[in-house]
Amino acid sequence: MTLPVLAITLGDVAGIGPEITAKTLLNHPELRQIAKLFVIGDAAALRRGCRFAGLDPASVRTIARAADVTNDPAAIEVLQVGDALDDVPPGDIAARAGDGAYRYVVEACRLGRAGEIDGIVTAPLNKAAMHAGGHHWPGHTEILAHEFGVKNYSMILSAGDFYLFHLTTHQSLHSAIDACTPARTRTVINLAHALACALGRPESKIGVCGINPHAGENRLFGDEDADQLAPAIHAAQADGINVHGPLPADALIPQAVRGKWPMVIACYHDQGHAPFKAVYGDDGVNITAGLPVVRVSVDHGTAFDIAGRGIAREGSLVLACRRAAALSPGWSQVWQSAQQENTP
């Protein structure tokens, strides 16, 4: 069996990225049975991360290209990008660290476009540091979309068999409501259905959250649900997709957590993120649908307050690697759907 090649981007080296990456690759040899793993980042910062985590810095070695990965479970293989950053103090916002985190993601996208990797797993970056480094992006998702040249994509939060899509993410609530157009709603419904097919479950129920309280309550609390969401839902139903809504979010998401809805579409960032993190904490991952390669991220930040202390848990990064390896073989179906949506 050919293993998928996954690149782990190191994230902001002033955060917990280096130490959780070291723990993931050295303390979980079983991951090498499901994927070929290497790091895009800075070898010196990784060696420092090993020291923080009580692991052997000599396990870190550099490679010249993705094809050179040996997948040795006793080694951390690193594709060096930029200068050494092991002098950046842990826990501080640093422009150099923000610049590095951005460049690691850009290099991963370059390898993805070239067909040299099958997936990207991202450790956390710090938006303030990235902006200080001169790269004014809202976050990972938007960088990835830009580098891959896609316009239609969706952020997914996932835990277990639950997948929570978003119509909008990093924008104001006012603009997000306007952005929940029938076209955008249909695009994300199609992406959710494509993922269900990739998972081998094409009949999976998809629930769409309403924008307004009680999903508008027959226009008593606004017209947006009926005018912006419902037309796309009805059209998708006519095409055979098992989608329902708009449904009150305060009913739909609790039902999904209990297993009734494997896929849910939230309309805006906090409608999805707040309940997801309240239930799952750091036990979830962040997936981007709409890219040519699978991308999975930890569902936590840089944790500057504990960086360098060796106490950060690597569980979310381990889960992200496992999820990326599992999704990679069927990802072409999701990408094909996204390509159709990206075609004018």
Angstrom CA distances, 236 to 45, 187, 188, stand at 48, 10, 11
Model's pTM, two decimal places? 0.89
Non-local CB neighbours of 218 within 8 Å, separated by 6+ positions:
none
Strand partners of residue 7: 38, 120
Query: What are 178-203's pLDDT values in tens digits?
Result: 999 999 999 999 999 989 988 889 99
Cα(198)–Cα(306) distance, rounded to whole angstroms? 38
CA 230 vs CA 41, 150, 183: distances in Å? 45, 25, 11
Kindly give the residue spans of alpha helices, DSSP state H, lying in the chain: 17-27, 43-53, 95-113, 127-132, 140-148, 173-179, 182-198, 224, 230-238, 249-257, 269-280, 315-327, 331-342
Report d(CA 9, CA 143) in Å as an integer: 13
Q: What is the pLDDT of residues 81-129, one digit of tens each?
A: 999 999 999 999 999 999 999 999 999 999 999 999 999 999 999 999 9
Q: Cα–Cα distance between 265 and 156 in angstroms, integer?
A: 9
Scanning the structure block, which residue is given the tokens 């895009």? 40
Residue 76 structure tokens: 């951390």
Sketch out the chain's domains with CATH numbers.
1-150+289-316 (3.40.718.10), 161-283 (3.40.718.10)
